Structure 1
Amino acid sequence: MMAYVIIKTDQQKAAETKVLKDFGINQRNATREQREYAQEIARRTLELKKDMEARKI
């Protein structure tokens, strides 16, 4: 059986925490689904930020 492990950077963890906080959710009380949503929102947001910085001239 394979186990999938996701190693998060400090930047990713901070972004996820911020997303949860912005939606008024305490990180300790967040459900698994809420954490997954926050993770996806944070991932896409960081992706867009990197993309926008790369396009700056």
Structure 2
Amino acid sequence: MGGRYHVVCHECAFEGLYEDASVAEGQRDAHTSDSGHQMSLRDISCQEAPGLSQ
């Protein structure tokens, strides 16, 4: 079963969606290390994807 992880920077346009927690954590940590920016990582696996409105 795959997950969904949302990584976002609070100080620039860096953002990503990942299916693997370790990849998401790695991207978050690498961006923090390179830029010094504050980041958030959120597990959104249990949230439903938005649907199309009719």
TM-score range for the pair, normalised by the shorter chain length: 0.3 to 0.5
The alignment's TM-score, normalised by the length of structure 2, stands at 0.37
Identify which of structures 1 and 2 has the higher relative contact order when contacts are C-alpha pairs closer than 8 Å and 6+ apart. Answer: 2
Please give the TM-score of this superposition, normalised by the length of structure 1. 0.36
Counting strand residues as a fraction of each chain, which structure ranks higher?
2
Of Structure 1 and Structure 2, the greater helix share is in 1
Q: Rg larger in 1 or in 2?
A: 1
